Structure 1
Amino acid sequence: MGDDAAGQPDPTVPDAVRTVLVRLAAEVLTTIEPADVPPALRQVQRFAPRRRATAGALPLWSALEGDAAFRARVARVWAGARPEVAARLGRGTSAAPDEGTASGSAAAEPDGQDAAPGGGAPRIADASPLDVAVGAWLLRPGGWDGTLAEAAGQLVAGPADADQQATLADALDALQRAEERTTVLTAQLGEARTRAEQAEEDAAALRREQRRLRSDADRARSEARRAVADAEDVLAQATAARAAADEALESAHALRRVAEAERAQVRQEARVARDLAGVRVRLLLDTLVDAGQGLRAELALPPVGDRPADLVGTSAPVPVERATSRGRAASDPALLDDLLALPHAHLVVDGYNVSKAAWPGLSLAEQRRRLVDALANVAGRTGAEVTCCFDGQEGPRPPGSGPRGVRVLFSVGEIADDLIRRLVGAEPRGRVVVVVTSDRQVADDVEAAGARVVPSATLVARVARL
């Protein structure tokens, strides 16, 4: 269907056409599912069928004018009832007045339509003006407003058409009343059939209920017999389980008695072993005491005259060289070789303390590089674990430039001295840990923790020989 021409108001619709359209819309509204009814017509659909076209005339007309989907639904119903008129309206309408040509008018004539006098809207043969007006308003093909105006003029001018319209209206009223009567009779017949079917269903339901009750009774008796048999089986199983539980309990009591006997035996053996150990210790202690007394008598040791407090002087202590491995001095590079030759030795180096003593004129980065390279040689020759500690953050280093066999650590939130103390404290007692530093405070602390201390100059001399 074509849309309304832009800027053109809807032509005036005659009352007869409006009445037919409203009645047709009321009939179509009856066939629409409630979910598809336009919101404005839901109240009208609840009216009685005979009252929809009169009481709901205004909402129906408004829906026809404003709701294109509802108008299209009504148009499809009208076109299905009058297919020839609908087809001719779709094919034979002429163009708008400003575009009409003689050829266009001539092309419409073979389809059974006659051009209106003066080049107006076409006339459709064998169709009443009322049908043409209703179809033009619903289908709205091109030039439908001229077709509607032409049909409206014929309705007003021809009394015969008016009589035909009245006859058609009466026929529609009679048809509607017949349909309403048919609907009432159909509803009554349906109610009677429904009551009869309901009665039959009730009788069938009663029969089914009777059969069900009989079946339930038979099933209940069968289930009762099965329940008795099941109860007897459960009782037998419970009796067997009780006997098995009694046997298991007796076995558990026997195991408990055996365990208590074994525990008493273990306690007795432990008591004997404890007494034996005490006797052995006492015998060893007596042996040591007797040996000490015999040694004192053999050596003719005099009684102790001085006490430790008498030997503590007030003069300043004289610095002495700490005793080292094989009598070597701490400054002897061979001492470092002896210490690193011990199994699982760990060499911890105070980085800047050594590098500044070895290469004072170089930058810190160059000092670090040279020291780490030298320590890599030491690690490769001795096989010892080597850790070098520096203050601050590590500078940028190219990928793959890390030393082999040397662990390089930089202190974060602390100084390198504290990092060295924590490394020594983490090692187990008895492992050979050698700390290279000239910081006396660090040396005292790590020696107290069990490490060996070597001055920085010793490592510098050792590295110079490589």
Structure 2
Amino acid sequence: MPEPAPDAVPEAVRAAVLPLAAEVLGALDPGAVPASLAAVRRFAPRRRVTAGAGPLWLAVERDDAFRARVARAWSHAHPDLAADLLADPPAPGVPEARLDLAVGAALLRPDGWEARLSALGTPPAGDDEPAQPDADHAHRAHRAEAEVRRLAARLTAETERADGAEAELVSLRRELRRLRSDADRSRAEARRAAEHAAEVAAAAERVHAETAKVRASADDDRRRAEDLARVAREDAAALRELAQVRVRLLLDTLVEAGSALREELALPPAGRMPADLVAPPVPAPGGAAPRPTSRGRFADDPALLDDLLAMPRAHLLVDGYNVSKLAWPDQPLTEQRRRLTERLATLAGRTGAEVTCCFDGRESEASGRAPAAPRGVRVLFSQGEIADDLLRRLVRAEPPGRVVVAVTSDRALGADLEAAGARVLPSATLLARLGRV
């Protein structure tokens, strides 16, 4: 809408609009106050019309929203005049010289309002004009109109507040419906959760009952197993006793049968022993010759030792001092043991054979405890016996069929070890083999 010319609105109309605009400004919420009137609103109500007249009138002229609020307040105070102004064409018989009508035209601004405002003007003096009311009557009328305008402005503000409250009420009702819906859903979910919990509890009870039954059955099985074990132990004891009785009876039977057989055969007492019947060995021509052993090799051949140690799971037993005293007779026993065990460790590492070296144990030398041995060599010291007896026990402990190689120059010991199943080689053979490591 184009702005009116500066002289389009008479001064008297402006003076009548300003108090109403000040009343509407004071009733507005802070958020609805135009930016140009923010400072005017902080004035006292009486100063808004005087000190803020310029900004107020500019807001009425240029701010359509603010002017609409002021026009709404005037329309509430003058509903009939507002209807006449907005009628097309204007209703006849309206006293268009009245100031209120000019104020309404300036605020509502219907079509052709500027022409109608010019036509209203101020009443000319003449004989046909009615007489002016007296001063008191005019003052009271002016005060009444001001009160009406104030009440109209307050009514407009209250109406706007009521509209805002109604809108807020609608929003709150909508929020309440949403919250009720959420509450209904929560209650439904709670009911479903409670039902599920009840189902889980019932299932747990069933599992507990089944577990109790299984536990009771397991206890019964355990008791029956214990009874069976006790019966089995009693049966085993009875069977052992029966076996002992049967063996004793069989032994007595054999003894009695042997006595009866001796009496039946009436054999004379033996005058000669089996050793008397063994013929003396026939000496070989030219003296004793070494006898060949494995693969045609002789016992003093180091290659024979290599062949034996190359066999799977071979075990080399060494008569320690018998070998070391032959190799290093001038060295102390401690040095002899060190040299021999170090060379045996090298041999064990190259052949992969198990190596055990036995020494005579004396309190002054080993104190009954074996010193640290090199890796791959087992070093044993005899205790309460000689090393020969320890070697005999080691050979007897081996299972039949395993390759056991014993190294010693002691003929009596070698014979015993051969009788126990070992392959016996002299100490010189081992020393010749160790000389190459």
Question: With structure 2 as the length reference, what TM-score do the two structures score?
Answer: 0.34
Question: With structure 1 as the length reference, what TM-score do the two structures score?
Answer: 0.32
Which structure's relative contact order is higher, taking Cα pairs within 8 Å and 6+ residues apart? 2
Bigger CA radius of gyration: 2
